[in-house]
Amino acid sequence: MARVRRRVFVLVWAVCVGALAFVWLFPLLWAFATSLRPPGQLGSQIASLWVHHPTLGNFREAWSDAPFLRLYYNTAVVVFGILAVQLVTITLAAYAFARREFWGRDVLFRLFLLQLMVAPSALILPNFVTLRTLGLLNTRLGIMIPYFASALGMFLLRQAFRSVPRDLEDAAAIDGCNSLQTIWNVFVPLARPTLVAFSIVSIVYHYNEFLWPLIITDTERARTVTVGLASFTQSAESGAQWNLIAGGTVIVILPLLVVFVLFQRRFVESFMFSGLKG
């Protein structure tokens, strides 16, 4: 009897999880289906996931109507530029807070963590005024500067550095390593899962960031894919061209989906080893 109840519980649990997964996946599946739908099927069949006579013409038209190549380039520069600077700043800060003794260390660490309690939207106005004063509006550097430091990354890496045995640091000092060499040869290799996990979070967040790039840019010279997609969507909505909107959406989200499919096992392992639950 207990075995039967266990099987029923597992079955009900699987059905509930499957239903929630379908609800979560339905908008994505609908976007893919609609992007393949010819314009003649946008009437009563628009809510269906089945596509008769699929076509790739929507992707070609969307690609020609919006400068996606330029948007991809701007996004890559912004996302990986932010990540490169963040990896340096959070590594040095985490090492200082985890291994160095100095006056006010704990108080300063808590002040850094206050950043986690402040919504990024609350800092838009002071950041905008500062960058306007510096003449960095409508530039990729202007989009990047407010994110060069990360309290979350510093906190995660500090926790990883605190778990490194002191003997390894002493051995590096005996071998003649200075602080930077010790960080690079001892701490960074042991904290690689945490660095990978933070890199994933940073890339996904800044790839999807919309409000700040929208406010600071007014031309295609520095716009990212999310802002470019919004502009493209506004023009397509006027003609109710949902197939083109879906095609442009798929073009924007496809890179992240491909990267996740190719490296999903590495992603999950990195989050597990870092202690960060997704």
What value, to the nearest 5°, has the Cα angle with vertex 255 and ends 265 and 258? 35
Residue 86 and residue 148 in contact, taking contact as beta carbons nearer than 8 Å: yes
Residue 212 and residue 124 in contact, taking contact as beta carbons nearer than 8 Å: yes
Using CB atoms within 10 Å of the CB of residue 163, give its burial: 0 to 12 exposed, 13 to 18 middle, 19+ buried: exposed
Half-sphere exposure of 234 (CA within 13 A, CB side): 5
CATH 1.10.3720.10 correct for 62-274? yes
Digit-by-digit pLDDT tens for the chain (278 residues) are: 677 778 778 888 888 988 888 888 888 888 888 888 877 666 656 666 777 777 788 888 888 888 889 999 999 999 999 999 999 999 999 999 998 888 888 898 888 888 888 888 888 999 999 999 999 999 999 999 999 989 989 998 998 898 888 888 888 888 888 888 999 999 999 888 889 888 988 998 999 999 999 999 888 888 999 998 888 877 665 556 777 888 888 888 888 888 877 777 766 666 665 554 44
Half-sphere exposure of 200 (CA within 13 A, CB side): 21
Max Cα–Cα distance, the chain, nearest Å: 75
260 phi, psi to nearest 5 deg: -65, -45
Residue 162 and residue 98 in contact, taking contact as beta carbons nearer than 8 Å: yes
Dig out the tokens for 267 from the structure: 């992603």
Q: Which of 212, 220, 266 lies closest to 67 in space, CA to CA? A: 220
- Rounded to two decimals, the pTM is 0.85
Residue 152 and residue 138 in contact, taking contact as beta carbons nearer than 8 Å: no
Domain with CATH 1.10.3720.10 in the chain: 62-274
